[in-house]
Structure 1
Amino acid sequence: MKILAFDTSNKPLSVALVEDGKTLAHIESTEKKTHSITLLPDIQKSLKESNLSVDDIDMIAVADGPGSYTGVRIAVTVAKTLAFTLNKPLVGISSLELLAANGDEGMFIVPLMDARNDNAFAGVYQKKQGKIVNIVEDHHTSMDKLLDLLQKYDEDKLEFINATQNLTDLIREHSHAKIITSEDSLPDATKLAKLAEHTEPVKDIDNFIPTYLRLTQAEHDWYEKGNKDDGNVSYVEEV
């Protein structure tokens, strides 16, 4: 099976073409350009390197959030468009689960995305016999609450993934657990393709949406003004 996988939910962009576990093309970019500009050209470049046309793809896999609002929307929109146009199955994978793929077997893996103001998107995972198992659902939380939640785990078995300098400093105030920084735990689209092989495709591509885990600032402001999503007028319809 030929899988086109990509992730733009984080600062780095990762695109891969994988066939039956073998990497045909893999492009990673940390250039300071918007993913909306680079994603499609990188997909085209991956196809060219693999000597494939887009029609040869059997499945589309995308990291569907949480993460950068704009980045997640770009990836999901491109994935939906390709899957619908080509009539191919689409698989969405948590961006945190993808980061957890960088963790070690036997550890309680805590993938992080810095959500600013000492907050983070986080979950808890374990690798078991090559599979990644979710133990604590992905959620948006303060680091204080997260570290309190993690007290029930053996500190020597905790492994934080994708910690920015600020998150690293906050963790170190309370724990000596293993930390893998953002620079050493970049999201990898080849691992995304591997995860997609064992994940059920999306049943309704039209209604497939990004996983944000918190309101955007615009939505927050809309609700603060007294608006309600009551089934008659929603934030999206209003905008």
Structure 2
Amino acid sequence: MPKILSIETSTTVCSVALTVDGNSLASQKLFLEKSHSTLLTVVIEQIMKQVGMEMTELDAVAVSKGPGSYTGLRIGVSTAKGLCYALDKPLIAVNTLLVMANEVNQQNHSQALLCPMIDARRMEVYTALYDGELNELEKTSAKILEENSFDETLNQKQVLFFGNGADKFMALKNGEANAVFIDNITPSAWSVGLLANQAFLKGDFEDVAYFEPFYLKDFVATKPKKVL
């Protein structure tokens, strides 16, 4: 019965969950921008206190590895690695897009294809395509959305689009019968925990010393706005 603390910080939403044997005992999600660095450890402490468990009782720490926000991923992964070092526990990392697909798939009774999208600015998104068994049909990539994007797939199958990058694709696919858009889906730590439980049973762990987030694209710094 693996006890896994899961961390998800790949977008503006910060979440933490504790799962035991694949069942979520407690989870918390903060919809506060730029809260990761100040509140992540606080939420972790609250979760552990809520379930009455000591950190030393954990069997592993899991983290959403990306793609997503450069800063958010860096904070989440560094926190997870720090806990693994301090507690001498294994690290599990899960693709963020798979985390989102897994969450939506809990209610995917139609067996439609799953297409999570994370906003990568302008008309670009981080995306992948999964079937109802969470098999990867299209690998994770940074895709510039156009009117004919996913046309070949949509001609054959219904596709569920979701995530904070899906809105701009909805504007291009308005009226497309096989394109279904789901609102308010953000990566959740409890979904990280469900996938991490499977990885734990397989012994699929990361090298804590060398593991890095899956940024997908190089970080591009922006100049701060001038104060008038």
One fold, TM greater than 0.5? yes
1:186 aligns with 2:186: yes
Partner of 1:64: 65
Identify the structure with the greater helix proportion. 1
1:90-148 deviation per Cα after TM superposition (whole angstroms, max 9, x unaligned): 111011111111132522111000111111000001232xxx22111100110128x53
Partner of 2:167: 165
Q: How many pairs are equivalent? A: 213
| 3-state secondary structure, aligned to 1:195 | helix
Shift in alpha-carbon separation, 1:31–1:155, aligned structure 2, 3 A: farther
The aligned amino acid for 2:72 is G
The aligned amino acid for 2:116 is P
Distance 1:10 1:33 in 2: 10
Partner of 2:140: 138
Shift in alpha-carbon separation, 1:112–1:172, aligned structure 2, 3 A: same
Contact 2:154 2:178 in 1 (8 A): no
Partner of 1:37: 38
| 3-state secondary structure, aligned to 2:132 | strand
67-76 vs 165-174, which moves further? 165-174
Distance 1:117 1:95 in 2: 20
| 3-state secondary structure, aligned to 1:198 | helix
46-55 vs 96-105, which moves further? 96-105
1:53 aligns with 2:54: yes
Shift in alpha-carbon separation, 1:119–1:24, aligned structure 2, 3 A: same
Q: What aligned pairs does 1:209-224 form with structure 2 within 5 A after superposition?
A: 209-218=212-221
Shift of 1:173: 7.4
Q: Which runs of 5+ in 1 are unaligned?
A: 219-239
1:18-56 deviation per Cα after TM superposition (whole angstroms, max 9, x unaligned): 111332211011023421111100000000001011111
Partner of 1:198: 198
1:126 aligns with 2:131: yes
Identity of aligned residues (%): 28
TM-score w.r.t. the length of structure 1 is 0.82
Contact 2:74 2:213 in 1 (8 A): yes
Q: What aligned pairs does 1:72-87 form with structure 2 within 5 A after superposition?
A: 72-87=73-88
Shift of 1:198: 1.6
The aligned amino acid for 2:205 is V
Contact 1:156 1:178 in 2 (8 A): no
| 3-state secondary structure, aligned to 1:167 | helix
Shift of 1:171: 3.3
Distance 1:171 1:68 in 2: 26
Shift in alpha-carbon separation, 1:28–1:95, aligned structure 2, 3 A: same
Distance 1:173 1:114 in 2: 22
Higher relative contact order by CA 8 Å / sep ≥ 6: 1 or 2?
Answer: 2
Contact 1:155 1:175 in 2 (8 A): no
1:174-232 deviation per Cα after TM superposition (whole angstroms, max 9, x unaligned): 66511112x2x1222111111011225334211100111111115xxxxxxxxxxxxxx
Q: Which runs of 5+ in 2 are unaligned?
A: 222-228
